[in-house]
């Protein structure tokens, strides 16, 4: 798909008044400063949106609260029907929204469509789940008593999201929150405000068509200061925040300070272990896609390869050869493998990492560099680089959100590789490439990978919505999407009912009057 007209996509997505900053999305009371959105693809301004002021924020919260009082009364399967309709609208808007994601964020068009597909998938998942918000029943220790648990809607869910998944992360949270009977207030990344406006418009249509209160889905654009209004707000029982570990540490403390719940999805430092029994063809494809896909700007991007010394040179040579094939250019052209970084600040961090790895004793194997000239006018296109390094380097311990891959060598058994893999602060995604059952099982065992995601013979990057998604340690411990991740969006209540004429106390305690 080479023909790309962003104006058409914006029109299809009902984003109007793109140039005067009033394009704030329906149910958005924003009247604050103007936020300009630039595309990293060609450096051009796409449009402007208005940010929310504190007074706007109060209006949004009032609207959300009023909506919650009504929405929580709707039976869960009916809420599922609303999410089903939202999924249907996403199917219709997949191309336009996918294009906008690609153009505003810079990921490939295929990945832009893929992100919208993830939204559709989570809607389907949520529809089924809306009939399965099960609690357990327990046997009471007292005669004539029944005990069970149920899940009730929680209230207003605050969603703070990162630039790299500008639409899917919101949908993972919102689709589940909605079937659980919650309403959402979304603070998207200030780097991708138009994607958020588009999503809000789509959901606003569904809400309107069903005569529901518009506060079920709210959007507030702005930077971290708007995020802080959410995290400090006692009226919001759950904050789901996706972004850097730096941000997560602040958000966690603020929310804990008011004893609210937080669901944190933070940075990763993901590794693939390559053992002597690995299928090298699969390894190279998995590693290269994991390292350079989305220009290394996925939370699950492959940052480290931990390779056994006996095959180290072979893997190294194959990687260097594969990197020579990479085509860097506009992500709107399917022939290109690598698109731009999000902005010039990200380019600086990339340059800085390459400088630091050499200073700290590493060796550059595949040169990096910023591209200029025809097609690279935005200044955000960089060459994917590979460096030979050691896990102890400060820069290797750190998540650089760019296509920089570190090669690390191990000797002896797989336990040594696992030790290296786990020896970082983050714990999101991990993988082992091996055909050796013992190594694979060891990697998945209690002494194996300490990450939230551990894969065998697949790379670190990309996940299916059916599983719980998230990571341990400095990745924040949160789980989103599939499995039983829905439980965090509800409050659990244990109920005991006495259907006798006696009042026996628990633990056999006597209290005679
Ligand atoms: P970021 O931390 O700079 O910003 C994320 C969001 O947090 C933005 O909306 C920002 O405005 C907001 N924010 C920042 N400081 C805040 C504060 N003090 N209070 C409230 N809100 C605040 O992250 P980014 O650069 O947009 O995204 C990249 C990072 O996100 C990477 O570290 C990546 O690994 C991580 N990420 C993690 C996951 C995951 O599921 N684990 C998914 C996507 C991205």
Can you tell me which atom of ligand 1 is nearest the CA of 191?
Answer: 26
CB atoms within 10 A of CB 371: 17
Report residues whose beta carbon is within 6 angstroms of any ligand 1 atom.
160-165, 187, 189-190, 223-224, 227-228, 231, 242-244, 247, 250-251, 265-268, 299, 399, 401, 428, 471, 475
Token match 């972004």: residue? Answer: 243
**Cα 252 to ligand 1 centroid, rounded to whole Å:** 13
d(CA 35, CA 99): 21
Q: Which pLDDT score, from 0 to 100, does residue 32 have?
A: 86
Going by alpha carbons, the residue nearest to atom 39 of ligand 1 is 265
* Distance from Cα 265 to the centre of ligand 1, integer Å: 8
Centroid of chain to Cα 434: 28
Pair of tokens at residue 225? 């200061």
Residue 398, burial from CB neighbour count under 10 angstroms (0-12, 13-18, 19+): middle
CA-nearest residue for atom 17, ligand 1, is 224
373 HSE (CA, 13 A, CB side) = 4
What is the per-residue DSSP string for 163-190?
SSSTTHHHHHHHHHHHHTT-EEEEE--T
Residue 298 DSSP code = S
Out of 190, 265, 399, 474, the active site residue is 265
pLDDT at residue 28, rounded to an integer: 59
CA of 242 to the centre of ligand 1 (A): 5
What ipTM describes this predicted complex? 0.98
Q: Name the closest-CA residue to atom 14, ligand 1.
A: 224
Q: How many CB atoms lie within 10 A of CB 27?
A: 23
CA of 161 to the centre of ligand 1 (A): 6
User: What pLDDT sits at residue 26?
Assistant: 47
**Chain segment 182-194, per-residue pLDDT in tens:** 999 999 999 999 9
What is the reported pLDDT for 218?
Answer: 94
pLDDT at 513: 85
**Residue 239, CB-side half-sphere exposure with 13 Å CA sphere:** 32
Q: Which of 247, 265, 428, 467 to mutate to test the pocket of ligand 1 (most atoms within 8 A of CB)?
A: 247
Percent of the chain with pLDDT over 90: 90
Question: What is residue 17's predicted lDDT score, i.e. its pLDDT?
Answer: 62
Predicted local confidence at residue 2, as pLDDT: 43
Q: Measured in angstroms, how far is the CA atom of residue 224 from the centroid of ligand 1?
A: 9
pLDDT over 70 for what percent of the chain? 97
- Annotated catalytic, 58? no
DSSP strands (E only) in 173-319: 183-187, 217-219, 238-242, 261-265, 270-274, 302-308
Distance separating alpha carbons of residues 352 and 360, to the nearest angstrom: 12
pTM over 0.95? The answer is yes
CA–CA separation, 347 vs 370, rounded Å? Answer: 8
Retrieve residue 250's tokens.
């602040």
| Contact between 465 and 118 (Cβ < 8 Å) | yes
Give how far Cα 398 sits from Cα of 18, 267, 356, 357, 426, Å. Answer: 38, 9, 11, 11, 9
Q: What is the pLDDT of residue 1?
A: 44
Placement of tokens 């993901």 in the chain: 270
Which residues in the chain come in under a pLDDT of 50? 1-3, 22-24, 26-27
Q: How do residues 450-486 score in pLDDT, each as one tens digit?
A: 999 999 999 999 889 999 999 999 999 999 999 999 9
Rounded Cα distance, 503 and 510, in Å: 10
pLDDT given for residue 3 in this prediction: 46
- Are 315 and 309 in contact by the 8 Å Cβ rule? The answer is no
Q: How many helices (H) and strands (E) does the chain have?
A: 14, 21
Q: Determine contact, residues 452/472, Cβ cutoff 8 Å.
A: yes
SS (H, E, C) 366-418: ECCCECCCCCCCCCCCECCEEEECCCCCHHHHCCCCCCEEEEEEECCCHHHHH
């Amino acid at each position: 798909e080479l023909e790309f007209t962003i104006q058409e996509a914006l029109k299809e997505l009902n984003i109007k008044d793109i140039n005067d900053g009033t394009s704030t999305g329906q149910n958005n009371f924003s009247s604050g400063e103007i936020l300009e959105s630039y595309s990293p693809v060609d450096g051009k301004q796409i449009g402007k949106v208005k940010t929310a002021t504190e007074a706007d924020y109060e209006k949004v919260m009032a609207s959300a609260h009023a909506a919650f009082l009504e929405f929580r009364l709707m039976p869960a399967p009916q809420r599922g029907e609303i999410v089903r309709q939202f999924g249907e609208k996403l199917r219709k808007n997949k191309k336009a929204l996918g294009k906008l994601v690609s153009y505003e964020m810079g990921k490939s068009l295929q990945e832009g469509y893929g992100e919208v597909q993830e939204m559709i998938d989570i809607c389907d998942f949520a529809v089924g789940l809306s009939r399965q918000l099960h609690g357990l029943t327990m046997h009471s220790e007292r005669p004539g008593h029944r005990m069970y648990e149920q899940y009730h809607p929680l209230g207003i869910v605050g969603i703070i999201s990162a630039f790299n998944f500008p639409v899917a992360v919101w949908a993972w949270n919102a689709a589940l929150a909605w079937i659980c009977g919650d309403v959402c207030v979304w603070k998207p990344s200030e780097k991708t405000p138009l994607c958020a406006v588009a999503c809000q418009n789509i959901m606003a249509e569904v809400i309107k068509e069903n005569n529901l209160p518009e506060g079920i889905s709210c959007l507030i654009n702005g930077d971290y200061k708007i995020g802080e209004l959410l995290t400090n707000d006692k009226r919001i029982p759950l904050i789901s925040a996706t972004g850097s570990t730096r941000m997560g540490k602040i958000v966690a403390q603020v929310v804990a300070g008011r004893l609210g719940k937080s669901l944190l999805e933070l940075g990763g430092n993901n590794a693939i272990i390559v053992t002597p029994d690995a299928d090298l063809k699969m390894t190279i494809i998995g590693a290269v896609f994991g390292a350079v896909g989305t220009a290394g700007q996925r939370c699950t991007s492959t940052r480290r390869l931990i390779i056994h010394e006996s095959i180290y040179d072979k893997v190294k040579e194959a990687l260097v050869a594969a990197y020579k094939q990479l085509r860097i250019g506009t992500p709107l052209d399917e022939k290109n493998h690598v698109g731009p970084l999000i902005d010039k600040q990200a380019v600086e961090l990339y340059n800085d990492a390459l400088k630091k790895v050499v200073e700290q004793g590493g060796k550059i194997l595949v040169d990096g560099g910023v591209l200029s000239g025809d097609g690279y006018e935005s200044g955000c296109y960089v060459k994917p680089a590979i460096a030979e390094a050691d896990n102890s380097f400060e820069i290797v311990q750190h998540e650089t959100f760019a296509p920089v891959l570190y090669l690390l060598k191990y000797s002896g058994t797989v336990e040594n590789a696992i030790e290296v893999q786990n020896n970082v602060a983050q714990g999101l995604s991990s993988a082992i490439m091996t055909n050796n059952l013992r190594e694979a099982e060891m990697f998945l065992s209690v002494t194996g990978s300490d990450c939230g995601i551990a894969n065998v013979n697949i790379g670190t990057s990309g996940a299916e919505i059916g599983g719980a998604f998230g990571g341990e340690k400095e990745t924040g411990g949160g789980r989103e999407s599939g499995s039983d991740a829905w439980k965090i969006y509800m409050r659990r209540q244990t109920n005991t009912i006495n259907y006798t004429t006696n009042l026996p106390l628990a633990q056999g305690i006597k209290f005679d009057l």
